[in-house]
Amino acid sequence: VLAAAEGTTVTWWMWGGDDQINTNVDRDIGERVQALYGVTLNRVPNGAELFVDQVLNEAAAGVEAGAIDLMWINGENFRTLAEADLLYGPWSESIPNARFVDWEDPALAFDFGYPVNGYESPWGHAQFVMEYNTALVGDEPPTTFEDLTTWIEENPGLFTYPALPDFTGSVFVRHVFYWIAGGPEPFLGEFDQEVFDQYAPAVWDYLNEIEPNLWRAGETYPEEPIMDSMLANQEIAFNMGYGPANAANSIVQGIYPETIRTFVFDTGTISNNNFVAIPFNAQNPAGAMVIANYILSEELQLRMVDPELWGWQSPISPTVYSEEFQEAVANMDLHPAMLPPEVLNAAALPEPNGDWVTAIEAGWIENVLER
């Protein structure tokens, strides 16, 4: 595989909405795989909806040499492509650094409830956090939906969430489902229309109830990348997302004021693992596997968990790496805007099965956006 990959270019299509991640990928993955293996990384900032359409269209047109070698993929899209038999593999359990992956862990063996079966490889771990400006909210943020509702009513215009199907807006609404249902359990199995109909009306009622007090009176919902600047300039008091380190990184870069902090809900927040996959018609699967393997290396994972570099959580237990790795992680300084790993781990909730996500997004558009 290394011999086949040397001197080649890997075209990696991935969500490009975070400048820090883009920089980190180019520097810590691109420069290193070039130096170590002679592989050139061509990062293309095209998100999931674009690469799914690309692969589906190529399959329909009979294209044998596809435009994409590697994809940063989420569970919904993984399932779509896997069920259409449009992924290369299985491969992910046979790369050398797969030995670090606990494939018995359901969070790694399944992606949004769909079996991985060797068709994708983990590269990071994400968990939803709420970001807030202490200058507007104070030092005690509303950590329950009841308290958040009261805060929104008393401070109209300062809260919003991205329009679904944006993945950040979608995960916020999934938390409302979990809250209404008293936990994630009803949504972890196969999609059940009766169960959905049992909880969905109360969710839509709640979201419609808070809508008049949202930013711009809920007449429009912002796109997710804009919310960073809206929080920074105090247009809103809260932001949200899958990046526990986003607030800390944004403060360090001067994007956010020093008054931004993060919290998780008392009832927990959704976490998941990020994966990469290779399309069925990739021109350079060998190069793609070299990059996926490097992602699981101790060298990269140490940089990824460093709060001053990536500030990501790792999908890999640190105990599988060397003692030097574990010591380095233990000695890392945590930014005050970043929650300690033990707080995040204790609050972690599973993602629902992907079919629930599809139904929730369609339901929100019909019952909240278009009402």
Other CB atoms within a 10 A radius of the CB of residue 319 amount to: 8
Other CB atoms within a 10 A radius of the CB of residue 217 amount to: 11
CA 205 to chain centre: 27
Other CB atoms within a 10 A radius of the CB of residue 262 amount to: 25
Other CB atoms within a 10 A radius of the CB of residue 88 amount to: 18
Q: Are the CB atoms for 162 and 226 separated by under 8 Å? A: no
Tokens of 303: 């940089």
Tokens of 237: 């008091």
Other CB atoms within a 10 A radius of the CB of residue 273 amount to: 22
Q: How many residues does the chain have?
A: 371
Q: Give the span between the Cα atoms of 94 and 184, in whole angstroms.
A: 33
Q: Which residue has the tokens 């369609």?
A: 362
Q: Which residues pair with 44 in a beta bridge?
A: 13
pLDDT score recorded for residue 249 = 87
pLDDT score recorded for residue 107 = 84
Q: Give the span between the Cα atoms of 330 and 72, in whole angstroms.
A: 29
CA 60 to chain centre: 29
Tokens of 233: 């300039």
Tokens of 316: 């890999």
Q: Write the DSSP string, 120-175.
A: EEEEEEEE-EEEEEHHHH-SS---SHHHHHHHHHHSTTS---PPTTSHHHHHHHHH
Q: Give the span between the Cα atoms of 371 and 328, in whole angstroms.
A: 52
pLDDT score recorded for residue 195 = 98
For the chain, the C-alpha Rg in angstroms (whole number) is 21
Q: What are phi and psi of 174, to 5 degrees?
A: -60, -35
Other CB atoms within a 10 A radius of the CB of residue 104 amount to: 7
Kind of pairing, strands 70-73 and 269-277?
antiparallel
E strand segments, the chain: 9-13, 40-44, 70-73, 110-111, 114-115, 120-127, 129-133, 238-241, 260-263, 269-277, 348-349
List of domains in the chain:
2-124+272-339 (3.40.190.10), 127-270+348-369 (3.40.190.10)
Q: What is the pLDDT along the chain (371 residues), one digit of tens a residue?
A: 899 999 999 999 999 888 889 999 999 999 999 999 999 999 999 988 899 999 999 999 999 999 999 999 988 899 999 999 999 999 999 999 999 999 998 889 989 888 999 999 999 999 999 999 999 999 999 999 999 999 999 999 999 999 999 889 999 999 999 999 999 999 988 999 999 999 999 999 999 999 999 999 999 999 888 999 999 999 999 999 998 989 998 998 899 999 999 999 999 999 999 999 999 999 999 999 999 999 999 999 999 999 888 888 899 988 899 999 999 998 998 999 999 888 998 899 989 988 899 999 999 999 999 98
Q: Which residue has the tokens 């018609």?
A: 281
CA 156 to chain centre: 29
Q: Give the span between the Cα atoms of 135 and 182, in whole angstroms.
A: 32
Q: Write the DSSP string, 280-300.
A: TT-S-HHHHHHHHHHHTSHHH
Q: Are the CB atoms for 243 and 18 separated by under 8 Å? A: yes
